[in-house]
Amino acid sequence: MLCDLCGKNQATVHLTEIVDDQMTELHLCEECARQKSEQMEQQFGLSDLLAGMAEFTNKPAQGGKELMSAVKCKRCGLTFADFKKIGRLGCSECYNTFRQYLVPLLKRIHGSNIHVGKKPAGQVTAEPRKEKEADPLSLLRQKLQKAIEAEEFEEAARLRDQIRQMEKKE
């Protein structure tokens, strides 16, 4: 499949754009995809998005804006004002330094500041059984397998005998 923009190179990037409920697919070569990416960054940069959202999150008290701009990471020297300009934190310590400003921002962007994970839609998964709830026979089999892997053959023989006795009772 050839690139939709230049019509010359093989399309390796496939984009789906949704604008005003209209979906369009673009099949682009690497060079056209890079140009399209640069265009999108100029039109709507990540740093602009974060800066805009940061404005709405923590409405600082009187003199708070100056205080917010003065907060500086001890490790990398990044200020919160710099973060708002570039849209990226400088180091892992920035998360702790700017915590009071980031928490509301994360809540606004993601709806929560706690990661709860995600399961594919429609997939039903059984909750993992806790060891207390697992039946004794399967626990013995697990111990037997571990003993065999550790080459503890006397322990493995003892566990094997226990398993056989339990199976006879069932």
Q: Which two tokens stand for residue 47?
A: 């740093």
pTM beyond 0.85: no
Amino acid 42: pLDDT = 57
Alpha-carbon distance 38 to 93, whole Å? 30
Are the C-beta atoms of residues 44 and 22 closer than 8 Å to each other? no
Q: Which two tokens stand for residue 76?
A: 């990398």
Mean model confidence pLDDT for the chain: 77
Alpha-carbon distance 33 to 41, whole Å? 12
pLDDT over 70, % of the chain: 72
Query: In this model, does residue 3 exceed pLDDT 80?
Result: yes
Alpha-carbon distance 103 to 62, whole Å? 20
Amino acid 39: pLDDT = 72
Amino acid 62: pLDDT = 44
